[in-house]
Amino acid sequence: MTNVLVLLILLVMVGTLSVFIWNSYPLESWTSSQDLRIKKVAYLSFH
């Protein structure tokens, strides 16, 4: 159960960061951050 809570908190944090990045930077910067985010999510789901 604790792992599920941690994952949920991480998802919320990542989502908030994505919105922040989307609002703060032009599209080119955002796409590279989006790519990093996808890699992080993939990394998290495999570990």
Residue-level pLDDT at 29: 55
CA distances from 4 to 7, 9, 40, 42 (A): 5, 9, 17, 16
Residues 2-47: tens digit of each pLDDT: 899 999 999 999 988 888 776 766 555 555 666 777 777 877 887 6
Q: Cα–Cα distance between 5 and 15 in angstroms, integer? A: 15
Alpha carbon distance 40, 12 (integer Å)? 14
Q: What is the pLDDT of residue 8?
A: 93
Extract the tokens encoding 24. Answer: 């703060």
This prediction has a pTM of 0.41
